[in-house]
Structure 1
Amino acid sequence: MSDAARDVFLPVAAQPSVEALVEQAQRAESLGYDRAWLPETWGRDAVTVLTSIARETDDIGIGTSIMPLYSRSPALIGQTASTLQEVSDGRFRLGLGPSGPIVIQNWHGVEYGNPLRRTRETVEVVRQVVSGEEVEYDGEYFDLDGFRLRCAAPDPAPAIDVAGMGPKSVELAGRFADGWHALMLTPDGLDDRIADLERGAELGDRDPDDVRVTLSLTCAALDDRDRARDIVRQHTAFYVGGMGTFYRDNLARQGYEEVANTVYDEWNGGDRQVALDAISDDLLDELAVAGTPEEARERLDAFAALDGVDAVSVSFPRAATTEEIATTIDALAPP
């Protein structure tokens, strides 16, 4: 049995209320999950929801996965991380990522460019802010001087994780961040990216074991096996086909170029059933956890046992109902 931690990745899809998300975090806490991660896309903002969760839980860790770094200044991200660390009594972990041009340009109206450099500078500025020292930074994108937090610095300073799918972004996480958030990776694909992470750690003169690897897995553990697999397949196809080119390229990079291109082309061409059919059962099981509770537990345990994985994060397909989310949280709880 792996000693990887078990986290819950609260739904990216719209939930009925903030209280529903709080209740999901409370449920995870009661079952022994290590941390509740919350994404931020174009629904509720992560900060308000995580504050509510922090106030209504006692022990479970909380974190952003991910907070898009183009939608806030690095100084504001540092202030926010400091405040969330305070209100959670030290339970906060900051997950950052560039997101993609579809969200950043079409939703935030901000130009998306050079995400690697922007990520590095943001991490470096945030580290200075949360240290409580005066911020002095001269970068390509950010030039800061003369201010420091007007409140006590968080103690301990929150860890900073970075999400990434490509070799260079994962290398960057290994070099500059405290953790890496991995997603939509097969076991073989994960091995390749962990090699990138280790190379980055070496470039930063760091121990790779000090960089926490959190693998996010789309999960549905339901008595209705067909329903579980259908909603996870639909979720996978939506990301590969409908969320720009990053997920398509990520899947192609792992040896599934034909599948990736078919899903992308057919999803955008309007024949979404063909896109769904392109994702075989075998591939679905390489990327996600979907089936009966017994099948899903066995599959999640296999992912948790992979070399280099420090935590597996149970996430949910977009079409999952609140009841199906609760059922899956229960079924995949830590042993």
Structure 2
Amino acid sequence: MRLGVNLGYWERSAAAHDMVAIAQEADRLGYDSVWVAEAYGSDAPSMLAWIGALTERIHLGSAVMQIPARTPAMTGMTAATLDTMSGGRFRLGLGVSGPQVSEGWHGVRFTSPLGRTRDYVEIVRSVLRRDRVTHAGPHYELPLPDGPGKALKLGSHPLRDEVPVYLAAVGPRNLALTGEVADGWLAIFLSPEHAREQIDVISAARRAAGRGSGDDPMAGFDVVSATPVVLVDDVRDAADHLRPYCALYIGGMGSREQNFYNRLASRMGFEKEAATIQDLYLAGRHREAAAAVPLEFIDETALLGSPRRVVQRLRRYEDVGVTTLAVATGGRMTRDQATATLAVLAELMPDRVR
């Protein structure tokens, strides 16, 4: 299992400089990859280009670039550019986002997310291979049949004709699609106690699609877990650092009718608590929602406590099949705390970094 770092996205300009500094430290320490997110603020490709220009070896991943934000051809162009300019270090993570962002921010209907993702990945791969891009739909039709457009191929020559594609997936059907068409899974709120079922869905889909190697359908597939690490000896105090983050996703990242993270918490056995968190969050009572997040949920999905406890519990991720543990550095963590955390893990687990 490799160590990476997940920087999330920034809200204030100073935080952007902190993210670059954390990425540079991760590169110096020999971490495998750095991942950057986007929602409706900072965008992932710009941050990755900046980080890529100021680092040397660390791989650059989008976690994620939003599918409704760009045409698949534009994403193929961006992937080719980032990969070439970074010397082959780019990893393309994609996600459909949710209906609130897709329809409210991008003006794209949140319909048929699985079919749209499948078409999207097919077109992106075609762009990177420098095929003349044609697609018969149903979600994308290239070229349009009733106008002057013609089938085109990428005008530049990328460094690689295959860039690893990762999908952010939460529900069972999306996990199956990930196994079928992607090279990796971007997991959030992964619990080693519950992840085996999720990874089994991916594995079965890969086997059915003839992917993998020999008898191992998961060969060559990267399971990336974005996992907060809080090195505070008292587990309850450590969990308090993550309560607002958990409440935002379980309670507010989506509508009452459609919140993928709320459903995930429910499937993990926290159905009653997830409903309470959502009720409080949607009522604007954010502090109460954060206080309602169970310690057990946070401890299952994050690494909390002393360095010794964290390293012992970190091995559960490797045992269940995680191949990249991306240390999430958001929340209340400062730049110095983030870099110190990365240094402690690199020292305690030197075999997990270069």
Q: Map Cα deviations across residues 170-217 of structure 1 (whole Å, 9 max, x no partner).
A: 000000111111111222321111111012112322122232211111
Give the distance between the partners of 1:30 and 1:294, measured in 2 at CA.
23
* Structure 1 contact 85–92 (Cα < 8 Å) conserved: yes
**Where does 1:116-127 land on structure 2 (aligned, <5 Å)?**
116-127=114-125
Residue aligning to 1:299: 313
* Structure 1 contact 13–318 (Cα < 8 Å) conserved: no
Give the distance between the partners of 1:227 and 1:129, measured in 2 at CA.
48
* Structure 2 contact 65–95 (Cα < 8 Å) conserved: yes
* CA deviation after TM superposition for structure 1 residue 13, in Å: 4.0
Residue aligning to 1:212: 222
**Structure 2 residue identity aligned to 1:150:** G
Match of 1:318 among 291, 316, 331: 331
**Structure 2 residue identity aligned to 1:316:** T
Q: Map Cα deviations across residues 134-180 of structure 1 (whole Å, 9 max, x no partner).
A: 11211111111410010113325211111100000000000011111
**Where does 1:179-198 land on structure 2 (aligned, <5 Å)?**
179-198=184-203
**Where does 1:1-335 land on structure 2 (aligned, <5 Å)?**
4-15=1-12, 16=14, 18-145=16-143, 146-207=151-212, 208-209=217-218, 210-222=220-232, 227-244=237-254, 245-303=259-317, 305-333=318-346, 334-335=349-350
| Aligned residue pair count | 331
Give the distance between the partners of 1:129 and 1:189, measured in 2 at CA.
37
* Structure 2 contact 230–303 (Cα < 8 Å) conserved: yes
The 1:13/1:49 distance shift into structure 2, 3 A limit, reads closer
Give the distance between the partners of 1:94 and 1:266, measured in 2 at CA.
35
Please say which of residues 261-270 and 48-57 is displaced more in the overlay. Answer: 261-270
Q: Map Cα deviations across residues 24-43 of structure 1 (whole Å, 9 max, x no partner).
A: 11100111110001111122
Consecutive unaligned residues in structure 2, runs of 5 or more: 144-150
Q: Map Cα deviations across residues 256-300 of structure 1 (whole Å, 9 max, x no partner).
A: 211211211122234445433433323221111223344333333
TM-score where L is the length of structure 1: 0.92
Give the distance between the partners of 1:48 and 1:243, measured in 2 at CA.
24
Please say which of residues 205-214 and 124-133 is displaced more in the overlay. Answer: 205-214
Give the distance between the partners of 1:195 and 1:319, measured in 2 at CA.
34
Task: Work out the percentage of aligned pairs sharing the same amino acid.
Answer: 34
Consecutive unaligned residues in structure 1, runs of 5 or more: none
* Structure 2 contact 166–186 (Cα < 8 Å) conserved: yes
The 1:317/1:19 distance shift into structure 2, 3 A limit, reads closer
TM-score where L is the length of structure 2: 0.88
**Structure 2 residue identity aligned to 1:215:** S
Give the distance between the partners of 1:317 and 1:225, measured in 2 at CA.
18
